[in-house]
């Protein structure tokens, strides 16, 4: 069979986008496209999820990085908002404020207000406090207040003086004088109107002394009663003064509170707060009587005599505008790039004062969920799951529709300083989780709550069909990027070159990549080179320059491996022919770059019944997919060559100089060629590298990374010098995936390099060995001097030798048992 039958022409190696098919001169002539193309399925899912107002219809955006998941979500959220505004629909967006809880001071309350009125409420309460201080100070310093207070005090004093006067008169009648000393009231005996000294009293007769003592005891009882009456009068006076102060204060503040109450009469929570605040004000009249001089409550006292800490008595008048949507047009759209617990659920700040932590409702700070309440919140699924305690707390909030602030330490099982426990408020947030498909599958499989709270999946495709409509839309996307980023526009040839790159990204000549983030990077880099060279438009040369420079920046690992091949450290033959040896092709994917490299594959066959031994597997360097590919070789050999006799074969297959592990089945055809070569004792061409997987019927199946594999072997051959016979053999089903670099295509066009496409193992072995594979006859035999005939003959010889070797040993063993 002529090998030219399998040779691929240069025109088949790459899709060339003809610039003449475009009816525009440059992208400046196009209307920019801001919506992303090729994502109809995902867009329909997003529109459905955004429109559903029922619980659980949050959205999971699934797809590869760069497919525009976040941008599409934001675009269609804005679109939905505009449509609802046009229909006259309103959103439930509010300001949220934390206020003092008089019933439970450690549990601040949250109140809801119309957007933009949170700050007004805070200012109203702040203004109320200032007016209270001013008006109460005036009321308590007025002449009427002083006169009334003086009258109450004088009335009490007059009653006390009257009572004491009566007691003095009684004492004089009984011969005693009441004197006030530092130790209290003293009863001094009188004789002839003169007070007696202690010596004079002792000089009296016993009868006279006894009479004085009896009178003194009676007066002492009356004196104690008078003092008790005086204390009662003082208490009554103090109560009257307090009632007077409270009456003055209530008269003064009622009109102030009534004015604020009427303003917020539609909020029951605020009305209750104002009622409690008024009672608190009346209970703290002494604080306001100092005429705007703050008089804090007495706190603990240090040994130095300095107060340790005194709480601010005016904290209940402070309003924490927790969420302010005054400047928000429509529902909030929040993107939290670092969704740790604090950033998502808020935090409680504290002040460290003299060995302890203090906090109040003014130290409560919102998280992204609070800020997005009534709107939309976009989160990265890997980041959410990567932060401790965030995922369970997020699920709990979405299920209960309540949102408060809790200590992150407690969520992690740690002990947190005792502090506030704010009361939760209602939550209405549409959460949009952004991640990849594998994470979605894991969550839906292992998390029983996931389906209940994320009922909508929007799956983003990484490719789109290369139709004329999509190509025009792709050009419009380039125009939109140029306008948005203020870049130079692209001419037709530049647009065509970008599209060729998009086709190479998905390794499909009938598709274009929809990972527009990477396309945008190429647009910006190509425009840089056009600007540096002073070109008015970005053309084909600038796009090619951008691609070459990007490859140069990232291909250092590829350069190092090629240097090792060139200096002989890694053994690769690119000429001659060797029995049981073939060049396989593998792909290295390092994240920022993907490149191909040839690997020597060898196979040795010998007598035995172990079948095909995978040396990589025995050394624990083989992945499961590679193990499967090697096992398929045994199935193919047994099916094709062991129909009339058992397969008596031992063969070892090895990736030479492989130390980091091997996976994938794309080298299974190369391994099979090496096995057949070893059995048939036919040398294989070393100037042709091979890729492709194989099934048990001998059909060569398509593989991934075909472009990188061809280019990897081409680079090795070029560094050693192209001979005109070198090439790569690939599966025919990979032809549509070919988007090779122009240097490879040009070498094929000149006949310096070749690409062969095959459908079966028989076709491939003919190209590599130069010997016909041979077709099976009706009697099951193959024609002489064919590869398959030589393999069958070798297997029969090996089976015969194995029987001869094992036969005498078995007879000797039986004789030994008989003896």
Distance CA 511, CA 518 (A): 16
Are residues 609 and 650 in contact, defined by beta-carbon separation less than 8 angstroms? Answer: yes
State whether residue 309 is helix, strand or coil: coil
Q: How many of the other CB atoms lie within 10 Å of CB of 354?
A: 10
Ramachandran angles phi, psi of 618, nearest 5°: -65, -30
CA distances from 210 to 204, 207, 242, 353 (A): 10, 5, 48, 66
Largest Cα separation within the chain, whole Å, is 167
Cβ contacts of residue 520 below 8 Å, gap of 6+?
Answer: 481
Are residues 737 and 507 in contact, defined by beta-carbon separation less than 8 angstroms? Answer: yes
Specify whether 666 is catalytic: yes
Out of 133, 520, 597, 709, the active site residue is 709
Out of 666, 677, 678, 769, the active site residue is 666
Q: How many of the other CB atoms lie within 10 Å of CB of 541?
A: 16
For 192-243, the three-class secondary structure string (H helix, E strand, C coil) is CCEECCHHHHHCCCHHHHHHHHHHHHHHHHHHHHHHHHHHHHHHHHHHHHHH
Alpha helix stretches (DSSP H) within 418-572:
437-446, 450-453, 468-484, 492-505, 516-533, 540-554, 556-566
Cβ contacts of residue 476 below 8 Å, gap of 6+?
Answer: 27, 30, 31, 32, 33
Burial label for 182, CB within 10 Å (0-12, 13-18, 19+), is exposed
Specify whether 709 is catalytic: yes
Q: What is the dihedral of CA 365, 368, 372, 378, to 10 degrees?
A: 180
Q: How many of the other CB atoms lie within 10 Å of CB of 303?
A: 5
Distance CA 369, CA 540 (A): 47
Residue 346's nearest CA partner among 418, 435, 424 is 424
Distance CA 366, CA 670 (A): 61
Distance CA 733, CA 233 (A): 111
Tell me the residue length of the chain: 819
Catalytically active residues are 666, 709
């Amino acid at each position: 069979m002529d090998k030219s039958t399998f040779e691929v022409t240069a025109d088949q190696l790459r899709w060339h986008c003809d610039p003449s098919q475009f009816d525009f001169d440059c992208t400046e002539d196009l209307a920019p496209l801001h919506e992303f193309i090729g994502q109809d399925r995902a867009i329909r899912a997003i529109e459905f999820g955004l429109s559903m107002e029922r619980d659980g219809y949050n959205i999971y955006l699934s797809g590869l990085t760069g497919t525009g998941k976040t941008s599409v979500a934001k675009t269609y959220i804005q679109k939905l908002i505009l449509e609802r505004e046009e229909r006259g629909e309103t959103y439930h967006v509010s300001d949220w404020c934390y206020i003092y809880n008089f019933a439970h001071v450690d549990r601040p309350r949250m109140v809801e207000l119309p957007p933009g009125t949170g700050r007004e409420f805070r200012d109203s309460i702040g203004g109320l406090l200032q007016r209270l201080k001013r008006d109460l100070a005036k009321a308590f310093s007025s002449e009427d207040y002083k006169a009334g207070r003086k009258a109450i005090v004088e009335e009490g004093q007059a009653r006390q003086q009257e009572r004491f006067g009566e007691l003095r008169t009684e004492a004089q009648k009984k011969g005693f004088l009441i004197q006030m000393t530092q130790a209290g009231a003293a009863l001094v005996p009188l004789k002839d109107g003169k007070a007696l000294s202690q010596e004079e009293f002792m000089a009296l007769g016993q009868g006279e002394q006894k009479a004085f003592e009896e009178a003194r005891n009676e007066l002492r009882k009356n004196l104690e009663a008078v003092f008790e009456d005086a204390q009662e009068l003082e208490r009554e006076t103090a109560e009257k003064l307090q009632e007077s102060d409270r009456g003055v204060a209530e008269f003064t503040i009622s009109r102030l509170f009534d004015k604020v109450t009427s303003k917020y009469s539609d909020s029951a929570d605020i009305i209750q707060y104002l009622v409690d605040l008024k009672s608190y004000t009346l209970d703290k009249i002494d604080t306001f009587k100092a005429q705007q001089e703050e008089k804090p409550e007495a706190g603990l006292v240090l040994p130095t005599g300095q107060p340790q800490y005194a709480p601010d008595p005016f904290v209940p008048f402070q309003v924490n505008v927790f969420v302010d949507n005054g400047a928000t047009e429509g529902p909030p759209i929040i993107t939290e790039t670092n969704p740790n617990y604090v950033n998502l659920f808020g935090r409680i700040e504290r002040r460290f004062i003299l060995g302890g932590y203090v906090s109040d409702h003014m130290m409560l700070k919102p998280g992204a969920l609070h800020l997005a309440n009534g709107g939309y919140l976009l989160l990265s699924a890997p980041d959410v799951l990567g932060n401790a305690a965030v995922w369970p707390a997020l699920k709990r909030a979405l299920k209960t529709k309540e949102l408060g602030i809790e200590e992150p330490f407690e969520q992690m099982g740690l002990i947190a300083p005792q502090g506030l426990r704010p009361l939760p408020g209602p939550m209405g947030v549409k959460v949009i989780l952004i991640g990849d498909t594998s994470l979605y599958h894991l969550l839906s499989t292992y998390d029983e709550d996931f389906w209940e709270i994320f009922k909508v999946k929007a799956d983003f495709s990484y490719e789109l069909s290369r139709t004329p409509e999509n190509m025009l839309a792709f050009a419009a996307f380039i125009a939109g990027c140029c306008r948005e980023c203020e870049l130079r526009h692209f001419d037709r040839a530049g647009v065509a070159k970008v599209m060729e790159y998009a086709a190479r990204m998905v390794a499909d000549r009938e598709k274009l990549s929809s990972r527009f983030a990477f396309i945008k990077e190429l647009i910006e880099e190509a425009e840089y080179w056009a600007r540096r060279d002073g070109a008015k438009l970005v053309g084909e040369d600038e796009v090619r320059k951008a691609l070459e420079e990007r490859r140069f920046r990232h291909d250092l690992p590829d350069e190092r491996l090629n240097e090792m091949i060139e200096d002989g450290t890694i053994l690769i033959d690119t000429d001659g022919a060797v029995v049981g040896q073939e060049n396989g092709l593998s792909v290295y994917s390092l994240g920022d770059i993907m490149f191909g490299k040839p690997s020597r594959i060898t196979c040795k066959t010998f007598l035995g019944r172990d079948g095909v031994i995978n040396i990589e597997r025995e050394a624990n360097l083989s992945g499961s997919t590679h193990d499967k590919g090697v096992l398929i070789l045994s199935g193919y050999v047994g099916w094709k060559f062991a129909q009339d006799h058992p397969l008596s074969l031992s063969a070892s297959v090895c990736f030479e100089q492989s130390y980091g592990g091997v996976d994938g089945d794309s080298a299974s055809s190369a391994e099979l060629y090496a096995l057949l070569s070893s059995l048939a004792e036919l040398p294989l061409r070393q100037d042709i590298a091979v890729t492709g997987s194989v099934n048990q019927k001998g059909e060569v199946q398509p593989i991934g990374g075909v472009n990188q594999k061809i280019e990897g072997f081409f680079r090795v051959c070029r560094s050693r010098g192209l001979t005109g016979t070198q090439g790569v053999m690939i599966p025919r089903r990979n032809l549509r995936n070919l988007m090779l670099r122009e240097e490879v295509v040009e070498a094929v066009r000149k006949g310096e390099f070749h690409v062969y496409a095959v459908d079966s193992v028989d076709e491939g072995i003919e190209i590599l060995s130069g010997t016909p594979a041979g077709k099976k006859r009706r009697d099951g035999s193959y024609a002489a001097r064919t590869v398959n005939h030589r393999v069958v003959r070798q297997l029969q010889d090996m089976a015969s030798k194995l029987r001869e070797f094992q036969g005498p040993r078995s007879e000797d063993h039986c004789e030994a048992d008989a003896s």
